[in-house]
Structure 1
């Protein structure tokens, strides 16, 4: 008498489990298809434009046939500079929140501040960077203004990813390290951080990709012009990036081949982001093999 309901519940739970698994698989496949269609459409339009001349020529202001050489350099340069500023700050803040802040009001206040900064729209950060760095400090539209404002965009993401990755480290590993006589700092540096490296690295790539594709902040801080010198490592010159160039070309409308340049620029951005993600996957796999 009592076995039948149990059997029915078992069959029902199996059906629900299969149904949910199918729904989740469908959602995953839908996301992949959307990505393929999105990337394919961009590459289909931009691929005919991509050639060595397009990648190595200076841009034109009125004539057709310009390239995006300085914009590629400025995009990578600004990402490296902003990460160089935000990575030490974000890592330090994440380590402090995960290992030293405890569970009191200080930690809750820090998390509220970090989450508020992470949720701040980029246009608000752009206005802040323009008011503080461009106008108040007199730096004008420059690489340093853009890099510092991008760092404000990066810090909350790196901080939160570092904290979450460190909190996911098994307690047994930490206790084993303490049992061998290691100090708290040694445990963090030699046990916790290597274990959490893959999560931190993934967050770092997401941060770099977001900074690479940012346009609103850089329009207001780095400007819409590129230096005539190449490569120009000066921090005081304007630094138009690929995303800003894409926006400027499509909105200005003075170039006769603006549509082709925009399509080629978008394709380059997609290829760079795909290459960056592939590189991170390879590094992640190498780290996992070493830690096994």
Structure 2
């Protein structure tokens, strides 16, 4: 009886804590969306910052955020995937691998402002890239790599050992077993880690202020030449993202409708992250079913 009572009390406490977390999340997201969504419009999404009322639109900021997200993912995902496969499948459990994991955990807890200053000194100043998209993407790679590597490693370790043994028993090499059995089985976890890191990238501001910059020349979306200074594909141009735009309009004090612009931009940022998460999960489930023949 006592054990049942304790179990019931523990279950109630857990449910209460979960409800508190859900209420906090709903409250934060609800406040952002209720405040900002009424100010969203097609013109706000497709106009430049200087052509829509006092605060302008966020066309360039939205594109820059997505461009940086894609570029950072392209750079960091292969490195993180390779490191995670090595740590989960090949590395022996000794002091060296423990040191590597400890270093990854320390790097994942670094404040973004520190990563931004590091990126400024290394990429902007030392490498001479200046305030540019490539400087921001490389800085975000350092910011993103530790947590992405840890998440992918945990996803790989979550695959039952019996699946590896089955592949080896069929005569497959270790690499073919990893590629054909382990990776497809770990795909949902890998995508979850990618989604979590993408959310951090998309909403990052501090690191980008010191690397990607705050504003730049007019972007020509009809210019597909990546070497042209005005091309939207040019990685050497400065790029202000949505998160940096929110910080900028609230700190400069020169925009009369800063509250409206920041509220609308915040709502847009949240909506894009939600859409990206749902789309990635849907795609992950589809790929998992296709690669594993699961129903």
Q: TM-score, normalised by structure 2?
A: 0.92
Closer, same or farther in 2 for the Cα pair 1:281/1:29, shift >3 Å? farther
Residues 203-218 of structure 1 aligned to structure 2 (within 5 Å): 203-218=193-208
TM-aligned CA deviation for residue 105 of structure 1? 2.2
Q: 2:117 aligns with which of 127, 138, 141?
A: 127
Alignment partner, residue 7 of structure 1: none
How many aligned positions are there?
A: 282
Deviations 1:4-51 (A, max 9, x none): xxxxxxx11111111111111111111111111111111111112100
Deviations 1:213-239 (A, max 9, x none): 000000000001044114311011001
Alignment partner, residue 99 of structure 1: 89
1:201 aligns with 2:191: yes
Larger Cα-atom Rg = 1
Alignment partner, residue 278 of structure 1: 278
Q: In angstroms, what is the RMSD of aligned CA positions? A: 1.5
TM-aligned CA deviation for residue 275 of structure 1? 1.0
Q: Which moved more, 1:41-50 or 1:214-223?
A: 41-50
Alignment partner, residue 229 of structure 2: none
Alignment partner, residue 164 of structure 2: 174
Closer, same or farther in 2 for the Cα pair 1:187/1:66, shift >3 Å? same
CA distance in 2 between partners of 1:120 and 1:20 (Å) = 35
TM-aligned CA deviation for residue 266 of structure 1? 0.3
Determine if contact 1:90/1:158 at 8 Å carries over to the other structure.
Answer: yes
Q: Which moved more, 1:106-115 or 1:74-83?
A: 106-115
Alignment partner, residue 237 of structure 1: 237
TM-aligned CA deviation for residue 115 of structure 1? 1.3
Q: Which runs of 5+ in 2 are unaligned?
A: 222-231
Q: TM-score, normalised by structure 1?
A: 0.93
Determine if contact 2:191/2:281 at 8 Å carries over to the other structure.
Answer: no
Alignment partner, residue 8 of structure 1: none
TM-aligned CA deviation for residue 58 of structure 1? 0.1
Q: Which runs of 5+ in 1 are unaligned?
A: 1-10
